[in-house]
Amino acid sequence: MRTVTGIFDTYSDGQAAVRALENANVPRDQISLVSRDDDGTLRDGDGAVDGAETGAGLGALAGGAGGLLAGLGMLSIPGVGPVVAAGWLASTITGLAAGAVAGGAAGGIIGALTDAGVPEEEAHVYAESLRRGGTLVTARVEDAMAPTAARILDEAKRVDWSLRRREYAESGWSNFDENLPYDPAPGRYQGSDLTGRL
């Protein structure tokens, strides 16, 4: 199995990537979406749902009946803040947080991504992009399916993580630090022309 990952500047681009992966027969339980939800409201072309609502309410907003997006729920990630999330990565993050509370495993979003096979350098960029308002989509696929999954994420406008890292570094950033307070101003990088390979 390989983990194919992409960060998107908009929720709608991440949503399109999830739908395209599902249409390519990637099993729903192998896809995950995590997106910032600063004001407790998930916004989409269909309107908005209050952050207190979860599950079917968010799912109906996020993409109609069925699919991974129907399972969106709310959680908070240290250093990132409130997010809507669905899929295996959300479950992993929740499990890591529960383990940390019990004195066991720790690692937050970086630990969840690296445990799934994402290189640590990339994981830091993905976590920082989430903090800054991005949407993260991941898919665990068989090796033979990895090129197709990567193409799907590219077509959905995923950001080139290495160019994004360079952009962050120019402002003095070096790595994601979950102990720093997050900046609740999303969309800082929307409209950037950093789509491409991962």
The H or E element that residue 84 is part of is strand 81-87
d(CA 38, CA 40): 6
Rounded (to 5) percent helix, strand, coil in the chain = 45, 20, 35
Interhelix angle 120-131/161-170, nearest 10 degrees:
70
Question: What is the spatial distance between Cα 196 and Cα 65, in angstroms, rounded to a whole number?
Answer: 30
pLDDT number for residue 39: 57
pTM (2 d.p.): 0.74
Residue 62 clears pLDDT 50, i.e. is over it: no
Domain ranges for the chain: 2-170
Query: Is the pLDDT confidence value at 69 over 60?
Result: yes
Residue 68 pLDDT exceeds 90:
no
- The pLDDT tens digits for 9-28 are 999 999 999 999 999 999 99
Dump pLDDT digits (tens) for 30-47.
Answer: 999 999 876 554 434 333
Which secondary-structure segment (H or E) carries 154?
helix 146-155
What pLDDT score was predicted for residue 37? 72
Tokens matching residue 29: 């339980």
